[in-house]
């Protein structure tokens, strides 16, 4: 694939992310410098104990125009200054994907500028290569190949990142995602939603050896993940208390034991992944759960044992954001990709392995019509 080193002709680039319950917009320059960004988290889901897709989509639709305007104002730019538009087109909640990608495509068409559709997972796993992220970690570069562990509320998978667009899946969850397990256990403990940060804070008060929770799939071949049995084991411990509030010490011990179990699972699965993969330069963790300090420390120790670097995005870029979408777009443009994505529909399920195939599946008439329109 040809490489485009000079991206000055395609930036500033405006990116939008609306795959779940965070509405986000960011503007990046050709070097990946963040000119401005804004993220609005939807608080209405907390009372419902989880994300309601229809409510999320309506909230995106309500705030996205103002959020884009705010991002432009912060960057001291107008829409006419933007040379490329990008947005998440999958995977994620279909309503949110439709709102965000349609709005970005509409802006691109109105301004007669190109649009590039980005895979949400690709955004997460490429974020550690962002210059801002590298500076925060005092790392000069993040070279290929590297091993990436994505841990979020909707995803848990391990991938070998061989190059931009060359992602080899090594393992994935067979039931719950890691973040989903954290949120469900937090809900059982009465910590509300989202529960990951609250559970981590409570775990600091507890003894991680208090409850002998299971470590699903630990020691087995491969690096698939499973958290459903672990979640069920926690529910059985809590069951005798019925509707009564758990004593704080008991809740803290459960939280600490659960977090330790997840940490042990991740350590084992990544050890297996490193055995499966060819030599890699770095172990990367990304996604919302990558903000958990216990898990970071455990995986950092694994990397040290294998004499490879450890990298994780700054905490602000672990959760969903538009910076990662803009950066993934720049990475693809730098590789010489010619955007033909304005005709691509949003996809609630979109495996990374289908990125090239899906782009190439557009008929020549559709491509010609799209290019003529731009």
Question: Are 325 and 15 a contacting pair, CB within 8 Å?
Answer: yes
DSSP element (H, E) containing 342: none
Structure tokens at 281: 């330069």
Structure tokens at 202: 């409570």
Question: Are 303 and 283 a contacting pair, CB within 8 Å?
Answer: yes
Helices (H), the chain: 53-75, 94-111, 120-126, 131-137, 178-188, 196-203, 228-238, 248-276, 293-305, 322-334, 355-360, 364-373
Question: Are 118 and 75 a contacting pair, CB within 8 Å?
Answer: no
Question: Are 8 and 25 a contacting pair, CB within 8 Å?
Answer: no
The size of the chain, in residues, is 374
DSSP element (H, E) containing 242: none
Report CA dihedral (79, 322, 137, 148) to the nearest 10 degrees.
-140
With b for 16 or more beta-carbon neighbours within 10 A and e for fewer, the 215-239 pattern comes to bbbeeeeebbbbbeebbebbeebbe
Tell me the C-alpha distance between 88 and 131, whole Å: 21
3-state secondary structure of 181: helix
Angle, CA 77 vertex, CA 76 and CA 83 arms, to 5°:
150
Question: Are 267 and 283 a contacting pair, CB within 8 Å?
Answer: no
The binding site for Fe cation consists of 120, 124, 320
The binding site consists of 120, 124, 150-154, 183, 196, 200, 292, 320
Tell me the C-alpha distance between 215 and 227, whole Å: 8
According to DSSP, the β-strands at 13-17 and 84-90 are: parallel
Tell me the C-alpha distance between 79 and 341, whole Å: 20
The binding site for substrate consists of 150-154, 183, 196, 200, 292
């Amino acid at each position: 694939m040809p490489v485009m080193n000079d991206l000055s002709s395609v930036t500033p680039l405006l990116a939008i992310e609306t795959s779940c319950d965070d509405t986000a917009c960011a503007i990046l320059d050709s070097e990946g410098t963040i000119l401005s960004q804004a993220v609005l988290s939807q608080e209405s889901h907390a009372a419902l104990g989880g994300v309601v897709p229809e409510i999320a989509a309506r909230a995106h639709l309500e705030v996205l125009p103002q959020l884009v305007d705010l991002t432009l104002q912060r960057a001291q730019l107008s829409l006419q200054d933007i040379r490329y538009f990008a947005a998440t087109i999958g995977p994620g909640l279909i309503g949110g994907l439709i709102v965000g990608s349609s709005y970005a495509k509409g802006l691109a068409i109105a301004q007669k500028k190109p649009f590039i559709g980005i895979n949400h997972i690709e955004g997460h796993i490429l974020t550690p290569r962002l210059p801002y992220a590298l500076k925060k970690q005092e790392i000069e570069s993040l070279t290929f190949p590297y091993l990436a562990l994505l841990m979020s509320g909707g995803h848990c998978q391990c991938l070998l990142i061989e190059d931009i667009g060359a992602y080899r899946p090594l393992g994935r969850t067979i039931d719950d995602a890691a973040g989903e397990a954290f949120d469900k256990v937090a809900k059982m403990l009465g910590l509300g939603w989202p529960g990951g940060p609250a559970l981590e804070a409570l775990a600091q008060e507890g003894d991680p050896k208090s409850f002998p929770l299971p470590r699903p799939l630990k020691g087995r071949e491969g690096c698939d993940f499973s958290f459903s049995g672990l979640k069920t084991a926690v529910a059985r411990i809590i069951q005798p208390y019925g509707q009564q509030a758990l004593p704080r010490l008991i809740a803290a011990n459960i939280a600490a034991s659960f977090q330790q179990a997840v940490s042990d699972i991740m350590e084992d699965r990544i050890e297996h992944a490193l055995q499966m993969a060819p030599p890699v330069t770095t172990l990367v963790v990304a996604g919302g759960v990558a903000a958990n300090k216990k898990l970071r420390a455990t995986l950092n120790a694994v990397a040290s044992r294998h004499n490879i670097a450890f990298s994780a995005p700054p905490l602000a870029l672990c959760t969903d954001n538009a910076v990662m979408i803009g950066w993934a777009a720049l990475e693809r443009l730098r590789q010489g990709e010619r955007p033909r994505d304005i005709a691509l529909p949003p996809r609630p399920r979109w495996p990374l392995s289908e990125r090239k195939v899906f782009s190439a599946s557009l008929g020549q008439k559709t491509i010609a019509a799209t290019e003529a329109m731009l």
